[in-house]
Amino acid sequence: MKRRFLFVTILVIILILSISGCNSSDISEFDDYDDRQASLVEGFIYLNDNNCIEGQTLFIGDSITEFYPTEEFFNYVEGEVYNRGISGDTSNKMVGRIEDTALFLNPRTLIIQIGINDLNVGYLPEDISANIDECVRLSIANNANMNIVLVSLYPYTKTMKEEIIETNELIQAIAIKYSVTYVDIFNELADSNGVFNLEYTYDGLHPSILGYAVITEKLFPYIN
């Protein structure tokens, strides 16, 4: 009986130590978003320095871009297609990294899609607009002949519908201001209620492969 009690006690101690260990600083550094983003940015800079060539097509954005199988969908585009999406990215963070991860390569065509995470954490459409405006300004300063494509936010929840529409109107205004291209994807992916059509998404936020196919069809004329 005493041995059984001792055995159970030891197991409990091991369990407690295991749980406390899981909450310690030994957890992978990449569990923290800022560390993950910094690591990805560092990786993109390495690729730009060592493996990429200038004057190609480049996508930049958040997880919607990161998960976009651009290489497969745009394999018929002349030259290379680079994906610089980072999950969880916001427009202010994009301003901070666009020169190192995108403009360094002086892309022929630059596709920008960003903003839904901003709305999720409480930023206003005006905040997103100001940051996208700065991204476009930096891009034109880098190369006045760059083909810049601003992509609308995609549909999400019904409660965010009006904010998304307002943000898209501001993004379109930026395109007019700088004489660059604006592509409306929202209306291609939304259902009758203005939320993400379930035919085109697997989680209500990110496009499914069929959703990306619709997006690709809309973007293709502005890339070639």
Q: In CATH, what number is assigned to the domain containing residue 150?
A: 3.40.50.1110
pLDDT, position 129 = 98
Percentage of the chain lying above the pLDDT 90 cut: 81
Domain that residue 200 falls in: 26-223
- When comparing pLDDT for 27 and 201, which is higher? 201
- Does the structure show a pLDDT above 60 at 28? no
Residue 121 domain-assigned? yes
- Does the structure show a pLDDT above 70 at 209? yes
Torsion angle, CA of 180/42/90/214, rounded to 10 degrees?
60
Return the H-helix or E-strand segment holding 165: helix 161-178
> How large is the average pLDDT for residues 3-28?
39
pLDDT, position 21 = 40
Under 8 Å between Cβ of 38 and 44: no
List the structure tokens of 85.
């999406």
- Does the structure show a pLDDT above 80 at 72? yes
Residue 10 domain-assigned? no
Lowest mean pLDDT among 6-20, 72-86, 178-192: 6-20
> Positive or negative, the Cα torsion across 39, 119, 139, 69?
positive
Per-residue pLDDT tens digits for 95-133: 999 999 999 999 999 999 999 999 999 999 999 999 999
pLDDT, position 224 = 66
Residues 99, 5: Cα–Cα separation, whole Å: 63
Residue 129 domain-assigned? yes
Residue 119 domain-assigned? yes
Residues 223, 60: Cα–Cα separation, whole Å: 14
What does the buried/exposed string (b/e) look like for 116-143 if buried means 16 or more CB atoms within 10 Å of the residue's CB? bbbbeeebebebbbbbbbbbbeebeebb
Under 8 Å between Cβ of 37 and 86: yes
Using a cut of 0.75, tell me whether the model's pTM lies above it: yes
Confidence band, pLDDT 50/70/90 cuts, at residue 199: very high
3-state helix, strand, coil in the chain (%, to 5): 55, 10, 30
Confidence band, pLDDT 50/70/90 cuts, at residue 79: very high
Residue 20 domain-assigned? no
Task: Give the pairing type, strands 109-113 and 181-183.
Answer: unpaired
Burial class for 224, CB neighbours closer than 10 Å (0-12, 13-18, 19+): exposed
Residue 11 domain-assigned? no
Q: How many CA atoms lie within 13 A of 65 on its CB side?
A: 28
- Does the structure show a pLDDT above 50 at 190? yes
Residue 213 domain-assigned? yes
pLDDT, position 20 = 39
- Does the structure show a pLDDT above 70 at 83? yes
Lowest mean pLDDT among 28-42, 67-81, 83-97: 28-42
Residue 6 domain-assigned? no
Number of domains the chain contains: 1
